[in-house]
Amino acid sequence: MDMFANLATGFGAAITPANLLFCLIGCLLGTLIGVLPGIGPIATIAMLLPITFGLDPLSSLIMLAGIYYGAQYGGSTTAILVNLPGETSSVITCIDGYQMARRGRAGAALTIAALGSFFAGCVGTIVIAAFAPVLAGFAEKFRSPEYFSLMLFGLVAAVVLAHGSVIKAVAMVILGLLFGLVGTDTQAGVTRFTFGVSELYDGIDFVPLAMGLFGFAEMMGNLEKRAEDRSQTQKIESLWPTREEAKLAVPAALRGTLIGSFLGILPGGGAVLASFASYTLEKKISKSRAMFGKGAVEGVAGPESANNAGAQTSFIPLLTLGIPSTPVMAVMVGAMMIQGIAPGTALLTERPTLFWGMIASMWVGNLMLVIINLPLIGLWVALLKVPYRLLFPCILILCCVGAYAVSSSTFLVIMMAGIALLGYTFNKLGCECAPFLLGFVLGPLMEENLRRSMVLSFGSPSIFVERPISLVLLLMSAALIAIIVLPSFRKTREDAFQE
């Protein structure tokens, strides 16, 4: 078959002792930096990018793949251990992963995340190899109205997933969208809400925003509690999932992989949507729905697999259409450009060895990840035993260095202090930050696609229901809204989020 011949070419090019070594080093460094609380995948990749400059294109891409997966897994690790999501796609992992850690099941959560991610990575790689050309055709049908409706669906999902009051979650999403609009309006060439600060011309930077809202707000909340109430003081049981946990995790991982592989293909934040969607599904079909939010195994296995499958297949729009669908992909585009590789349709036809070599390297990267991380889980878990009074200053300085390193800007560091105060206030007022963050990421994209749709339709909003894919997405959003409003679901939801 064609696919196997292509994959064989890819593996032939990718698997050389030198490349395997680069992948191993990349994976190790990626996890090491990514696992540091407060440094997410974007910051990790950006920091490690310079070490790949000297290599030939394929080796450098292979090393980057290692760094990417390492950073991604490192991000999930901090999400589980200290409730710090490195990027939006691990926000979901925080909900139940952190609760599992609080119950002393951190080891099991990390193992499930690693194995689920590996499985999803394998499937994702095969999906890319088999369907990249076909799926590119489907993704090409997406125009602005479809993108807009898709993002709307994501935001509705974020509201459904939020704790507590629905109306506050909606307000947080909208506020997030507003924050996302800060910066230069590229279409009109006007800067908005920047107060003349040049650091804000490209928008509020994601890294200090996420660190401030999640990392520091959590830290200040933690310090207010007495030592014995604190999340860090539980003891760790076995590193391995129990039989019951495995039984719950395996089907959830399978479903997550399926959702992730599919949603990851859609440009516009596939991995994020995938983890949200997987969590919603797991919660919907679970027999013990009350466990969600309190450390449900499926709530880690599903989204983690979905997230990784999505991270994998989100390379499809990048490789076939040249669209970076996530902030991390945008960094990857930067790295490819430095190597003189322009992602897009030409890549497959003009440089097939590189294209397939890269796909093979994704699988190799996933394999390395498991090989390195299963033995090291104990080490990551040991981080929990460090007393909080020693841990939080370290987290603080790492976040500060991370925020500063993004663009060597002291402004971003000071802005982070302001955002931390805001995040703390939101927590005190019972406003959830996760919907805010998703709104923030999607804000500029939604505006752009809304504008384009309106130009296409001469100002008529009916364009969103006239196009079939867009209509389906809108109907799905409406169904989600109906579910929240239904009294029976409302009650379950309130029970589920009771802490």
Partner 1 sequence: MLRVKSPQDFWAGVLFICFGALALYLGQSYAFGTVTRMGPGFLPTVLAWIVVGLGAIIVVRGLAVDGTAIARGQLRPQFFILLAIVLFGLLIERVGLAPTIFIVTLVASLASTEIRWKEAVALGIGASVFSVLLFIKLLGQAMPAWTWSF
Task: List residues near partner 1 by CB under 8 A.
Answer: 33, 47-48, 50, 165, 167-168, 170-171, 174-175, 177-178, 181, 185, 187-188, 190, 192-193, 216, 219-220, 223-224, 227, 387-390, 392-394, 396-397, 399-401, 404-405, 408, 410-411, 413-414, 416-417, 420-421, 424-425, 428-431, 447, 450-451, 454-455, 458-459
Three-state SS at 185? strand
Q: Shortest approach of partner 1 to residue 305 CB, angstroms? A: 31
Three-state SS at 113? helix
Amino acid at 284: K
Three-state SS at 235? coil
Name which of 120 and 169 has its Cβ closer to partner 1.
169
Name which of 112 and 211 has its Cβ closer to partner 1.
211
Residue 348 near residue 358, CB atoms below 8 Å = no
**CA–CA separation, 184 vs 202, rounded Å?**
6
**CA–CA separation, 89 vs 272, rounded Å?**
4
Name which of 19 and 449 has its Cβ closer to partner 1.
449
**CA–CA separation, 412 vs 233, rounded Å?**
33
Name which of 16 and 233 has its Cβ closer to partner 1.
233
Which residues make Cβ contacts (< 8 Å) with residue 117, sequence separation at least 6?
A: 69, 72, 73, 76, 304, 305, 307, 308, 366, 369
Q: Shortest approach of partner 1 to residue 430 CB, angstroms? A: 4
Closest Cα partner for 148 from 481, 474, 468? 474
Closest Cα partner for 242 from 369, 112, 120, 116? 112
Which residues make Cβ contacts (< 8 Å) with residue 320, sequence separation at least 6?
A: 132, 133, 135, 136, 139, 344, 345, 348
Q: Shortest approach of partner 1 to residue 398 CB, angstroms? A: 8
Q: Shortest approach of partner 1 to residue 380 CB, angstroms? A: 17
Q: Shortest approach of partner 1 to residue 47 CB, angstroms? A: 5
Name which of 367 and 417 has its Cβ closer to partner 1.
417
Q: Shortest approach of partner 1 to residue 441 CB, angstroms? A: 15
Name which of 401 and 481 has its Cβ closer to partner 1.
401
Name which of 222 and 353 has its Cβ closer to partner 1.
222
Residue 26 near residue 73, CB atoms below 8 Å = no
Which residues make Cβ contacts (< 8 Å) with residue 480, sequence separation at least 6?
A: 153, 156, 157, 160, 280
Look-up of token digits 């805010």:
436
Q: Shortest approach of partner 1 to residue 394 CB, angstroms? A: 6
Name which of 17 and 458 has its Cβ closer to partner 1.
458
Look-up of token digits 């859609």:
266
Residue 289 near residue 492, CB atoms below 8 Å = yes
Q: Shortest approach of partner 1 to residue 15 CB, angstroms? A: 28
Residue 399 near residue 38, CB atoms below 8 Å = yes
**CA–CA separation, 48 vs 29, rounded Å?**
8
Name which of 374 and 401 has its Cβ closer to partner 1.
401
Q: Shortest approach of partner 1 to residue 120 CB, angstroms? A: 29
